[in-house]
Chains A and B, each alone.
Chain A
Amino acid sequence: MLIKFEKQKNIPQDNHSSYANQLIEKIENKIGVKLQTDKNNKTTSGHISVAISKTSVQVWIFLYDSNGVHESESDGKIIKQNSNIAVKFSGTKPKKEELVKLA
């Protein structure tokens, strides 16, 4: 499952990394699940990508539909790759509008 949006923003390049990391954390808190692995969580039910240009922020939120299948987007198409890290997202699908407000 992909939730994708773009928001007009002008963020100085020096702040790109911190902005992206904070946005990811806010989205994870909103959804209620970490969408990344860490020392304690060896699997994940999704991932987030953030692209920041001089004028906008693009966000991709992937919530995996199946166990063992990683999802991503390439050239406008959903790409599925086998992954033993990916697990099915079992939470409630967030509303896109609420996520856009976080950006």
Chain B
Amino acid sequence: MGFNGDLYQESGADVVMSAKGDLVRFDSERERYGIGSAGQVLQVASSLPTWSTINLADSVLTTQGDVLYEGASALARLGQSTANYTLATKGAGANPAWQPSSTSVLTTTGDLLYASGANTLARLAGGTSGDILTANGAGVAPSYQTPAAGGATTVNTSAWIEISFTTTSTSFVDATSYTHTLSNVSGGSYMLVFSFCFSITVSEASTRMRAVHGTTDLTEWFVNSRSWMNDQSSGAQSWVGDTDGSVVKIQTKISSGTFNLINTSNRGEGSFLEVS
């Protein structure tokens, strides 16, 4: 008994296999099954051997930095993205994706992070020196703003000229020239600051000096020694209303003897400061 190498008795292999790489398979009869594509593997499909492409990681990923994930029906590639982006899930039924991170959004020293929308990072660059971070209301991005002028603002001053005043009056009299005309008497109340450098001498102790606005006694100083405030600075402040006219005066009196008031404002002091 001889064998010619043909496994197929009814029709020879040379009949079924006609091209390089052909295989013979049997469905309802013996048939030729041509070679598959490069890289394909023989897999059973529909009860027949079938050339199939298998998505292995190495065949999906093509570039350094690629990430492998499961797509809708097969492995899929997520190519590398912008530096410092982070990988974020997009929820069930969706593919992951790269998205900006806090690290990628913040680029400069002093940057702040805020949301420019739902789940969206944004960068607020550093403001100008002295600016303050300001809320601009719900749904609006914050911003740096130049702060409004705060605290006290000097709106008017009266620098007293160098005049000395002496009196023997036992009731208050105007110390001539020591006055201040308010710049705004209808603007409600505001602060008046007295800053001065007086030299006061009295022949008898116990006398008084005061600042008055109309009939309102703003502040009063008691002189209780014969040489009081000898060339020293002093000051006071008082809220001034708008009902007593526009002039504020310094007045003096003495219980006995003489009262000498010397304004040493030539040293750069001696004034009313009107503050709003």
Evaluate whether A24 and B256 lie within 8 angstroms (CB atoms) in the complex, with A49-B176, A53-B161, A74-B174 already known. Answer: no
Which residues of chain B from 118 to 168 have any CB-CB distance to chain A below 8 Å in the complex? 161-168
The size of the chain B interface, using a CB distance under 8 A, is 30
Residue B224 CB within 8 A of the other chain: no
Question: Which chain B residue lies CB-closest to A36?
Answer: B168
Residue B271 CB within 8 A of the other chain: no
Q: Is there contact, CB below 8 Å, between B171 and A83?
A: yes
Query: Which one of A21, A36, A86 lies within 8 Å of B256 (CB-CB)?
Result: A36
Scan A1-28; emit 1 where CB is below 8 A from any B CB, else 0: 0000000000001001100110010000
Q: Is there contact, CB below 8 Å, between A37 and B174?
A: no
Query: Which one of A35, A49, A86 lies within 8 Å of B165 (CB-CB)?
Result: A49
Residue B169 CB within 8 A of the other chain: yes
Residues of A within 8 A of B176 (CB): 49, 51, 58
**What is the distance, in angstroms, from B225's C-beta to the closest C-beta of chain A?**
15
A30 to B255, CA, bound (A): 23
Q: Which of A16, A24, A35 has the most CB of B within 10 A?
A: A16
Binding stretch for chain A, among B35-43, B70-78, B108-116, B258-266:
B258-266
A49 to B251, CA, bound (A): 12
Scan A49-77; emit 1 where CB is below 8 A from any B CB, else 0: 11111100010001000000010111100
Residue A97 CB within 8 A of the other chain: no
Residue A48 CB within 8 A of the other chain: yes
Scan B249-276; emit 1 where CB is below 8 A from any A CB, else 0: 1000011111010101010000000000
7 A–B contacts, CB within 8 A, in A order = A16-B260, A17-B164, A21-B260, A48-B167, A50-B167, A72-B169, A72-B172
